[in-house]
Amino acid sequence: MNLIVCLDNRNGMMFGGRRQSRDKLLCERVMALTTGKLYMSEYSAKIFPESEKIVACGDYLTAAGKNDYCFCEEPPITLENSEKIIIYRWNRHYPADRHFHFDLEELGYELASTEEFIGNSHPTITEQIYKKVR
Amino acid sequence: MAYRRRKNKHTAVKVIATLLVIITALLCTACAALDFLPPEIAEIFNSFLGNEEDGGGKNNVPEYVDLDSIPAYSDNAYVVINSNKPFFKESDYTTKAYENYSELDSLGRCGVVMACLGKETMPEKDEERGKINNVTPSGWVQKEYSNDIVSGRWLYNRCHLIGWQLSAENDNERNLITGTRYFNAGNAEEQGMLLFENMVADYIKETDNHVLYRVTPVFEGNNLVASGILMEAYSVEDEGEGICFNVYFYNVQPGVEINYATGESKLAD
């Protein structure tokens, strides 16, 4: 499974049960990147355009198959079965009470690529792709 | 933009209203000096002018702010109040953009600011932030510390109650208070008001929705520096699904002891 998360400068994900931020161009990029199905929660599906690729369900983290993608905004997250982790960094500071706590290199992931792009409401979003190497 | 044109028109109206208030105040001062008014009438005048001894009411906070429910500062720049649910009333909800800034009180202190924020209230694309250093908020006794105590060295910022990125308000004295760097900034070390303003600004830009927003400065007694502010926000069109918070920020600077009555400060023991 390919896991996708969005993080602020302190690896924050949510505050008060809500996402920290969103960006239309990031959603378009995720859609373009995805081959196969894109799993996510009902909450996340509301910010994506309608598409047959999208599967919105409660158990999206476990339902996604080996080559599918999983867009996760709501911790807790398990990295089990995640061969690839795609991190989008907002490059901004937001309040957070839920975080992405993992040390990816410690867990056997290696940074394979880094790319920056301009978002709709974010001057620079950084895409980092980590691959499982051991 | 129609809202901006109305806003400029409102500014002219505000100037006229301010002049009228000043004239009224001068007349009333003259009346007080003549000392011919019965005490109960004088009390009404004083109340109208905000001249009570405690500066305008017990601790100068509206009834929705329960000071007893706010814990003492302990390492976090802010604390969640009322499980993040704002204290707005049903009748407050609107999708019509507006901004309302309280008059300064008799001690020159800001009061509650409330707005329905939307793209209409935000700066135009490419609009640059203007100067604000012509405003001297109450309690402004600036002092320099070493960089390891205050990032940027200067203790105080002129803090927008409604941030510029949300309101396009620059040097509006009714929107600027004396606040510490720690209270105002938002970065890796400082988790101040800016973090929440960023979240609201992104939401509005991405959705075109409106956010009901209120900032209540808390001045205890006759203090010239606020102890903190209560910030409430609620996204109207989606009934709080996008934005819903109620947070109190402590106007403190770790390592510095502030005299809130005057604004003077010194290194903490």
Residues of A in contact with B203 (CB under 8 A): 21-22
Q: Residue ranges of the alpha helices (H) in chain A? A: 24-33, 42-45, 60-63
| Amino acid symbol at B263 | G
CB B99 within 8 A of CB B115: yes
The 3 state secondary structure assigned to chain B is: CHHHHHHHHHHHHHHHHHHHHHHHHHHHHHHHHHCCCCHHHHHHHHHHHCCCCCCCCHHHCCCCCCHHHCCCCCCCCEEECHHHCCCCCHHHCCCCCEEEECCCCCCCCCCCEEEEECCCCCCCCCCCCCCCCCCCCCCCCCCECCCCCCCCCECEEEEECCCHHHHCCCCCHHHEEEEEHHHHCECCCCECHHHHHHHHHHHHHHHCCCEEEEEEEECCCCCCCCCEEEEEEEECCCCCCCCEEEEEEECCCCCEEECCCCCCEEECC
Q: Where are the domains of chain B?
A: 1-49, 61-267
Q: What pLDDT does residue B50 have?
A: 40
Q: Where are the domains of chain A?
A: 2-132
Say how far apart CA B241 and CA A126 lie, in whole Å: 26
Give residue B255's Cα distance to chain centre. 24
Q: Hey, are the CB atoms on A22 and B203 less than 8 Å from each other?
A: yes
Mean pLDDT of chain B: 85
Task: Name the residue with higher pLDDT: B2 or B54.
Answer: B2
User: CB of B262 within 8 Å of any CB in chain A?
Assistant: no
Q: What pLDDT does residue B130 have?
A: 94
Residues of B in contact with A119 (CB under 8 A): none
Q: Would you tell me which residues 14-33 of chain A have a C-beta closer than 8 angstroms to some C-beta of chain B?
A: 15-18, 20-24
Q: What percent of chain A has pLDDT over 70?
A: 100
Q: What pLDDT does residue B191 have?
A: 84
- Judged against a pLDDT cut of 90, whether residue B45 lies above it is answered with no
What is the average pLDDT across A120-130?
Answer: 97
Q: Which of B97, B81, B104, B119 is nearest to B161 (CA)?
A: B104
Nearest CB partner across the interface for A18, out of B195, B206, B243: B243
Q: What pLDDT does residue B28 have?
A: 44
Q: Does domain A2-132 have CATH number 3.20.20.70?
A: no
What is the average pLDDT across B209-235?
Answer: 97
- Judged against a pLDDT cut of 80, whether residue B27 lies above it is answered with no
Topology (CATH) of B61-267: Extracellular Endonuclease; Chain A (3.40.570)
Nearest CB partner across the interface for A10, out of B78, B188, B205: B188
User: CB of A9 within 8 Å of any CB in chain B?
Assistant: yes
Q: What pLDDT does residue B31 have?
A: 43
Q: Which of B175, B174, B156 is nearest to B164 (CA)?
A: B175
Say how far apart CA B196 and CA B163 lie, in whole Å: 10
**Residue B40 banded pLDDT, cuts 50, 70, 90:** very low
- The residues that bridge with A115 in the sheet, in sequence order, are A127
Interface confidence (ipTM) of the complex: 0.95
Task: Name the residue with higher pLDDT: B221 or B54.
Answer: B221
Task: Name the residue with higher pLDDT: B3 or B56.
Answer: B3
**Residue B38 banded pLDDT, cuts 50, 70, 90:** very low
Tokens of B202: 């992104």
What is the average pLDDT across A47-61?
Answer: 95
- Judged against a pLDDT cut of 80, whether residue B67 lies above it is answered with yes
